[in-house]
Chains A and B, each alone.
Chain A
Amino acid sequence: MSVESEVGLTVDGETVSSAADITVAAALLNLGKWRFRRSVSGSPRTPLCGMGTCHECLVTVDGDRHRRACMIPVRAGMRIETDD
């Protein structure tokens, strides 16, 4: 595997580091986030399909709400908020 660099992210206000070249969904799961969004009746959800279909992985990215975490690569300095 190619040399894997790290990137710094802010997740729910905390500064963390993540492998570069992975998706936001993978990064959050690797950080042990078991709640990406809250469903309309309040239950926690995490990615189901991993391919952009189910919309269970919606998070806020750089202030932009309802983004599919499984479709977006992490970028240095990215701000991510879960539990919308």
Chain B
Amino acid sequence: MDRSPDVVIVGAGIVGAAAAHVLTAEGLAVDVVDRGAPASGVTGAGMGHIVVMDDSPAQLQLTAYSRRLLDELAPELSASCELSRCGTLWIASGEAELEAVEAKQGAYAEAGIASEVLDGDDVARLEPELRRPLFGALRVPGDTVVYPPGLARWFLDRAVERGARLHLGTEIDSLGPREVRAGTTTISAGAVVNAAGPWSGRLSPGLPVTPRKGHLLITGRYSGFCRHQLVELGYLASAHDLSQDSVAFNLQPRPTGQIIIGSSRQAAGWDGAIDRSVLQKMVARAVEFVPGLAGLDVVRTWTGFRPATPDKLPLIGPWPDEDGPWILSGHEGLGIATALGTAQILADLMLERRPELDPAPFRAARA
């Protein structure tokens, strides 16, 4: 190595890539190492829903903040990021859920996020494929969808323009606070960031990040079949409960006219095989909401491992103590949506500035 960078980032997923983008913009010299290609980890498997979520106040703040940061970049993004302003519809499954719709709108309003309560007729007009009767929904018009590998690559390309170096196809065996080691090679740096996603615990043994398996499925091209990302209101509850396997209705129109159908959550270790019974449950749930899906062609199915933490918030900061290497991991099912916000908080902490959001809930050493 002819120069020792200020920061070496392990992982060229969306999280490491966003960090490289933000840190180089701050003028830091950055190296990014990945054992594979950019976005070849779970970022290549995710749905790319840039969504505001309110499972906890910290999550609400982080998702809202991150969405705003991405919106600010929107005019610069390349076509390959496939940014689509489709918005989200949170669908109520019965009268009983309408109260939850109202409550959600209140929470969003407090966080400065515009949303609109729709009645059943409005929903039917917006998305005619949804099964009747329809009770209502919360529409969040500012939510967007991206193509995660495209966005990760865009971040890395910007970083490289500002002098970042990529070491692709390089597997890191171990890391310390000031260096990473790959075989006999060592890269020393002012700081080390472990952004190895679901695998970050392998490089920082004891880190409370575990793989949470998810299945997705994509159809052929059916332009205009639906217009919004459609999510059942019960999704949050299903995502929240870590103790059991779950499926929830979550459907995303791609700019190609394809539809991605999700999603499942399982603690299944590192077995990436398609679990047919989970696939069946997931499809059954989707067809319950949108009967017309049953006749559409599936082109491919796949799985990915979300990097999950016990309290469902990402880890941002040094670990296990103030002298440890930096961790940027544990984004579970929201890494695409929150990569920019977490990268900004990381940069602020590294540069000893006060982050816009209170970083305490995300402190890596909380765990």
Q: Specify whether A and B are partners.
A: yes
A65 close to chain B: CB less than 8 A: yes
Contact present for B256 and A66 (CB under 8 Å) = no
Contacts of B270 in A (CB 8 A): none
**How far, in angstroms, from A59 to B292 measured CA to CA in the complex?**
19
Contact present for A66 and B220 (CB under 8 Å) = yes
Contacts of B295 in A (CB 8 A): 64
A3 close to chain B: CB less than 8 A: no
**How far, in angstroms, from A66 to B257 measured CA to CA in the complex?**
13
Q: Would you give 8 A-B contacts (Cβ < 8 Å), ordered by A?
A: A40-B221, A40-B256, A64-B295, A65-B220, A65-B222, A65-B297, A66-B220, A66-B297
Chain A residues in the interface with B (C-beta under 8 A): 40, 64-66
**How far, in angstroms, from A65 to B222 measured CA to CA in the complex?**
9
**How far, in angstroms, from A48 to B112 measured CA to CA in the complex?**
54
**How far, in angstroms, from A18 to B192 measured CA to CA in the complex?**
70
Contacts of A64 in B (CB 8 A): 295
Contacts of A65 in B (CB 8 A): 220, 222, 297
B: interface residue count bin = under 10
Q: In the complex, what residue of chain A is closest to B221 when comparing beta carbons?
A: A40
Question: How far in angstroms is the closest Cβ of chain B from A44?
Answer: 16
Question: How far in angstroms is the closest Cβ of chain B from A18?
Answer: 25
Question: How far in angstroms is the closest Cβ of chain A from B147?
Answer: 15
Q: In the complex, what residue of chain B is closest to A58 when comparing beta carbons?
A: B220
Contacts of B221 in A (CB 8 A): 40
Contacts of B256 in A (CB 8 A): 40
Question: How far in angstroms is the closest Cβ of chain B from A63?
Answer: 9
Q: In the complex, what residue of chain A is closest to B220 when comparing beta carbons?
A: A66
**How far, in angstroms, from A66 to B220 measured CA to CA in the complex?**
8
A40, A64, A66: residue with the most chain B Cβ atoms closer than 10 Å: A66
Question: How far in angstroms is the closest Cβ of chain B from A84?
Answer: 9
**How far, in angstroms, from A66 to B221 measured CA to CA in the complex?**
9
B133-169 vs A, CB cutoff 8 Å, 1 = contact: the mask equals 0000000000000000000000000000000000000
Of residues 293 to 309 in B, which have CB atoms within 8 Å of A's CB atoms? 295, 297
Question: How far in angstroms is the closest Cβ of chain B from A79?
Answer: 16
Contacts of B297 in A (CB 8 A): 65-66
Contacts of B220 in A (CB 8 A): 65-66
Question: How far in angstroms is the closest Cβ of chain B from A69?
Answer: 15
**How far, in angstroms, from A18 to B220 measured CA to CA in the complex?**
29
Q: In the complex, what residue of chain A is closest to B256 when comparing beta carbons?
A: A40
Question: How far in angstroms is the closest Cβ of chain A from B220?
Answer: 5
B211-226 vs A, CB cutoff 8 Å, 1 = contact: the mask equals 0000000001110000
Q: In the complex, what residue of chain A is closest to B257 when comparing beta carbons?
A: A40
B254-270 vs A, CB cutoff 8 Å, 1 = contact: the mask equals 00100000000000000
Question: How far in angstroms is the closest Cβ of chain A from B83?
Answer: 19
Contacts of A40 in B (CB 8 A): 221, 256
Q: In the complex, what residue of chain A is closest to B219 when comparing beta carbons?
A: A66
Q: In the complex, what residue of chain B is closest to A64 when comparing beta carbons?
A: B295
Question: How far in angstroms is the closest Cβ of chain B from A83?
Answer: 14
Contacts of A66 in B (CB 8 A): 220, 297
Q: In the complex, what residue of chain A is closest to B297 when comparing beta carbons?
A: A66
Question: How far in angstroms is the closest Cβ of chain B from A5?
Answer: 31
Question: How far in angstroms is the closest Cβ of chain B from A61?
Answer: 13
Of residues 273 to 313 in B, which have CB atoms within 8 Å of A's CB atoms? 295, 297
**How far, in angstroms, from A64 to B295 measured CA to CA in the complex?**
8
A40, A64, A65: residue with the most chain B Cβ atoms closer than 10 Å: A65
B240-264 vs A, CB cutoff 8 Å, 1 = contact: the mask equals 0000000000000000100000000
Question: How far in angstroms is the closest Cβ of chain B from A59?
Answer: 13
Taking A40-B221, A40-B256, A66-B297 as given, write out 5 further A-B residue pairs in contact, using a Cβ cutoff of 8 Å, ordered by the A residue number. A64-B295, A65-B220, A65-B222, A65-B297, A66-B220
